[in-house]
């Protein structure tokens, strides 16, 4: 779920803090290097496809990637290696120069049976793959024997010419302001906040903003495939990574090797359909959380004899916060309604976080907002020291570069009743997000992405029936749009965002059998 600015149609699989940063720069284009990983000169496509990567042990991540420590060695002692790959800033204009794409890799342990490189995109858009892959690597240990595990910071993200907008103190105010305005003065303040944010993005990253869309990222992945020496792209896309993978398959169907899409973005949804789908998805997850609370009776910290009564506690809390924020620990910060809603959404990404949601709401009812604020900070990429990664700046930039819709104030307000019907907790929040790109300085590319991929190898598409951020229907629609003989649907009857990372053995077994042995699951197979 997006914070309240640009509607975050595609969401990340999880928030990981471990990270790595790139050390090596490959000199594959002429010209002087500008700030932010941009280089002037000519981007010679043939030379870029044959560039040699200088892999070195990863250092600690950059601030834009989320700070933290360098990634720990893998089981057996293998070190994570990082490198930088040059890609054209503008594929249609080679004279525009290049930007540096940050990469991370660990090599296959069974060299005799190595298949190739398995490239990961964990979603967002705006999530750093360089940070996330080492943090999530234990989930994919079973694939490391036969694959080099590879990820990257997409253009505009993390250490790859990151989009920069407002500074840390400005972002604190930006994320705290009222995202569901209920009078004219609040509406004016909300729109002014969006305008200031967009202006800062243009001022600080204007050169890269037109070139951070999903189509360019897909072209980068095909260049990465060539530079890694693979004939085909082996790929694991999660959340927004499924949309990126679908666009890749459309552009390069003959280059698709074994690919898996998990937590599937619905390619048939425009911005409004996606936003209302997410409102319904998060409401479903909240219903499931509340039912679990009811089932546990007195062991649950929240009052309520049924789902409605438990959720009413949350609705009333948010209404109170709308007029009176509460203290959040000893930091001097306060928990606003916007941050509380954001924190609740963050906790619904995984059933493992439900206990945090329960405790956070209980604490907030008692006048202490630290836990819900911490969950909101995790969503927004705010570290404990008050610094922000660029995940939300990149998220806004990529979404607004992709999607054409620009909603007016009146259009947005007209949608409120429908969104409130979809979710009494998240409806207003998601509806007001529709206006997020209206002030953006760059036009969008499409209403919905084209993911048709005739001639592609089979793509396993995994849908989770309880997914709040990418509702289950998206998996079927992705299969349909990929086209006959391409998409193969696998259903997981579970909770949380994504299926493979749930630890479900059935899902992992089916996906591993495809990636490692080429065994395609039976169409319509179900895991639970």
DSSP string computed for 383-396? -TTS-B-SHHHHHH
Q: What is the pLDDT of residue 15?
A: 31
8-30: b (≥16 Cβ within 10 Å) or e: bbbbbbbbbbbbbbbbeebebbe
Q: What is the pLDDT of residue 208?
A: 98
Q: What is the pLDDT of residue 1?
A: 42
Q: Token digits for 489?
A: 């649907």
The bridge status of strand 233-238 relative to strand 98-106 is unpaired
Least confident of 14-23, 220-229, 373-382: 14-23
Helix (H) or strand (E) holding 460: strand 459-466
Using pLDDT thresholds of 50, 70 and 90, give the confidence band for residue 124: very high
The Cα–Cα gap between 352 and 341 comes to: 18
Cα of 63 vs its chain's centroid, Å: 18
DSSP symbol at 256: E
CB-count exposure of residue 367 (10 Å: 0-12, 13-18, 19+): exposed
* Predicted TM-score (pTM) of this structure: 0.93
Using pLDDT thresholds of 50, 70 and 90, give the confidence band for residue 270: very high
Please choose, from the candidates 146, 38, 449, 466, the residue with its C-alpha nearest in 3D space to the C-alpha of residue 280: 466
Please indicate whether residue 467 is annotated as part of the active site.
Answer: yes
Per-residue pLDDT, averaged over 278-304, amounts to 97
The bridge status of strand 487-495 relative to strand 525-527 is parallel
Using pLDDT thresholds of 50, 70 and 90, give the confidence band for residue 45: confident
Q: Which of these is catalytic: 4, 205, 467, 502?
A: 467
The Cα–Cα gap between 187 and 145 comes to: 55
Instruction: Reply yes or no on whether the pLDDT at 29 is more than 80.
Output: no
Per-residue pLDDT, averaged over 227-242, amounts to 98
Q: Which of these is catalytic: 230, 266, 497, 502?
A: 497
Q: What is the pLDDT of residue 429?
A: 97
Instruction: Reply yes or no on whether the pLDDT at 370 is more than 90.
Output: yes
The bridge status of strand 459-466 relative to strand 256-262 is parallel
The bridge status of strand 233-238 relative to strand 116-121 is parallel
Per-residue pLDDT, averaged over 122-137, amounts to 97
Q: According to DSSP H, which parts of 366-456 are helical?
A: 370-380, 391-402, 409-422, 427-432
Q: Token digits for 31?
A: 């010209």
Least confident of 11-20, 88-97, 417-426, 486-495: 11-20
CB-count exposure of residue 77 (10 Å: 0-12, 13-18, 19+): exposed
CB-based contact 333:172 (threshold 8 Å) = yes
The Cα–Cα gap between 207 and 390 comes to: 16
Instruction: Reply yes or no on whether the pLDDT at 289 is more than 60.
Output: yes
Instruction: Reply yes or no on whether the pLDDT at 28 is more than 70.
Output: no
What mean pLDDT, rounded, does the chain reach?
92
Using pLDDT thresholds of 50, 70 and 90, give the confidence band for residue 91: very high
CB-based contact 212:36 (threshold 8 Å) = no
Using pLDDT thresholds of 50, 70 and 90, give the confidence band for residue 36: low
Using pLDDT thresholds of 50, 70 and 90, give the confidence band for residue 266: very high
CB-based contact 340:376 (threshold 8 Å) = yes
Neighbours of 446 (CB within 10 A): 15
Q: Which of these is catalytic: 29, 117, 239, 376?
A: 239
Please indicate whether residue 239 is annotated as part of the active site.
Answer: yes
Q: What is the pLDDT of residue 40?
A: 82
Q: What is the pLDDT of residue 42?
A: 83
Per-residue pLDDT, averaged over 422-443, amounts to 97
Q: Tell me the residue ranges of DSSP E strands in 230-317.
A: 233-238, 256-262
Least confident of 19-28, 29-38, 407-416, 512-521: 19-28
Using pLDDT thresholds of 50, 70 and 90, give the confidence band for residue 61: very high
Q: Read off φ and ψ for residue 244, nearest 5 degrees.
A: -60, -45
Using pLDDT thresholds of 50, 70 and 90, give the confidence band for residue 254: very high
Instruction: Reply yes or no on whether the pLDDT at 16 is more than 60.
Output: no
Residue 48's contacts (CB-CB under 8 Å, 6 or more residues apart) are 28, 29, 86, 87, 88, 98, 223, 227
Torsion of CA 149, 253, 85, 130, to 10 degrees: -40
Q: Read off φ and ψ for residue 403, nearest 5 degrees.
A: -100, 135
Find the radius of gyration of the CA atoms of the chain: 22
Q: What is the pLDDT of residue 324?
A: 97
Q: Token digits for 324?
A: 């009176």
Instruction: Reply yes or no on whether the pLDDT at 292 is more than 50.
Output: yes
Please indicate whether residue 250 is annotated as part of the active site.
Answer: no
Start-to-end Cα distance in the chain: 25
Helix (H) or strand (E) holding 194: helix 184-205
pLDDT tens figures, 271-283: 999 999 999 999 9
Cis upstream peptide for 226 (omega within 30°): no
Distances (CA, A) of 346 to 35, 284, 362, 455: 33, 14, 16, 38
Q: Token digits for 20?
A: 């790595």
Per-residue pLDDT, averaged over 84-109, amounts to 97
Helix (H) or strand (E) holding 355: helix 354-365
């Amino acid at each position: 779920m997006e914070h309240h600015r640009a509607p975050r149609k595609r969401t990340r699989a999880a928030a990981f803090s471990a990270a790595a940063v790139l050390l090596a720069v490959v000199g594959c284009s002429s010209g002087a290097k500008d700030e932010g990983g941009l280089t002037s000169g000519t981007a010679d496509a043939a030379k870029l496809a044959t560039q040699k990567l200088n892999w070195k042990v990863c250092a600690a991540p950059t601030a834009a990637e989320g700070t933290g420590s360098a990634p720990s060695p893998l089981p057996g002692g293998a070190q994570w290696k990082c490198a930088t790959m040059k890609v054209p800033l503008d594929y249609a204009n080679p004279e525009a120069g290049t930007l540096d794409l940050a990469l991370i890799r660990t090599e296959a342990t069974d060299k005799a049976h190595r298949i190739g490189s398995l490239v990961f995109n964990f979603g967002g858009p705006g999530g750093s793959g360089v940070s996330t892959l080492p943090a999530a690597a234990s989930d994919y240990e079973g694939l490391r024997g036969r694959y080099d595990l590879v990820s990257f910071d997409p253009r505009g993200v993390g250490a790859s010419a990151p989009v920069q907008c407002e500074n840390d103190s400005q972002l604190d105010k930006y994320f705290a302001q009222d995202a569901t305005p209920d009078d004219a003065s609040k509406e004016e303040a909300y729109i002014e906040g969006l305008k200031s944010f967009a202006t800062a993005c243009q001022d600080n990253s204007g050169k890269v903003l037109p070139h951070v869309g999903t189509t360019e990222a897909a072209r980068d992945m095909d260049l990465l495939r060539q530079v890694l020496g693979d004939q085909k792209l082996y790929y694991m896309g999660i959340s927004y990574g499924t949309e990126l993978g679908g666009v890749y398959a459309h552009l390069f169907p003959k280059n698709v090797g074994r690919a898996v899409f998990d937590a599937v973005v619905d390619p048939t949804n425009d911005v409004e359909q996606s936003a209302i789908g997410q409102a319904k998805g998060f409401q479903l997850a909240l219903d499931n959380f509340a039912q679990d609370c009811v089932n546990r009776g007195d062991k649950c910290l929240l009052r309520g004899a049924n789902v409605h009564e438990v959720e009413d506690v949350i609705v009333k809390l948010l209404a109170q916060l709308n007029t009176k924020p509460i203290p959040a620990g000893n930091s001097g910060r306060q928990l606003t309604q916007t941050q509380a809603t954001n924190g609740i959404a963050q906790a619904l990404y995984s059933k493992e976080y439900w206990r945090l949601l329960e405790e956070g709401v209980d604490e907030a009812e008692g006048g202490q907002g630290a836990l819900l604020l911490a969950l909101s900070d995790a969503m927004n990429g705010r570290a404990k020291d008050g610094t922000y990664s660029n995940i939300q700046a990149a998220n806004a930039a990529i979404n607004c570069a992709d999607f054409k819709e620009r909603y007016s104030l009146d259009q947005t307000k007209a949608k409120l009743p429908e969104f409130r019907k979809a979710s009494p907790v998240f409806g207003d929040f998601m509806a007001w997000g529709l206006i997020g790109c209206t002030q953006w300085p760059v036009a969008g590319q499409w209403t919905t992405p084209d993911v048709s991929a005739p001639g592609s190898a089979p793509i396993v598409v995994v849908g989770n029936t309880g997914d709040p951020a990418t509702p289950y229907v998206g998996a079927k629609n992705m299969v349909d749009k990929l086209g006959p003989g391409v998409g193969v649907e696998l259903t997981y009857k579970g909770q949380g965002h994504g299926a493979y990372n749930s630890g479900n053995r059935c899902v992992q077994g089916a996906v591993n059998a495809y990636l490692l042995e080429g065994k395609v699951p039976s169409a319509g197979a179900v895991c639970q």
